[in-house]
Chain A
Amino acid sequence: QVTLRESGPALVKPTQTLTLTCTFSGFSLSTSAMCVNWIRQPPGKALEWLARIDWDDDKFYKTSLKTRLTISKGTSRNQVVLTVTNMDPGDTATYYCARSGVWGTSCTNWFDPWGQGILVTVSS
């Protein structure tokens, strides 16, 4: 069974850097065709894809946020880390990690399953 869980601070101040960790089980990010994504959702609003990291360390970012985002594999083999610099109240959202679907021998860009999400509030 594949599961993912997000962890990190619930509150950050404007201009600070947010670091979130996705801890997963049921698959290995060292295995071909495994990829993990970060997606966020401001309160009452729609979903916004942020970044993806692949088993071979390939990385993809939302273009408009690329200068502020870094996705990486964690120090533990079952973790992925997202950092967001220069946080702003507009970054207040529930942040989700999700595995990419698998299409043949590649990962694709639908998301299944998702973690439960973590609400991050940006406020002084």
Chain B
Amino acid sequence: GQNIDQPTEMTATEGAIVQINCTYQTSGFNGLFWYQQHAGEAPTFLSYNVLDGLEEKGRFSSFLSRSKGYSYLLLKELQMKDSASYLCAVSYNTDKLIFGTGTRLQVFP
């Protein structure tokens, strides 16, 4: 299989920084996506990593280590509207995008 593992739930305080980790099986790896999904809505794209390193996009950054099969999504200056599920998804050579079960983030005032 191609298990994607990420924590089920996380909590953080408004204005803080939170890091959501994702591990995956490396065989056949093409690229890694992060999506945000608010309750009752469709997922929306956040980032795509193919090469090792950190990609920064405003308050959100995504990191990838291909050799370790590891990625994280870093959210800075948290806002209440960041409360959502964050989905890690890996593209493999089979042309299939495998999603993790998602990390439900709750931001408290």
A associates with B: no
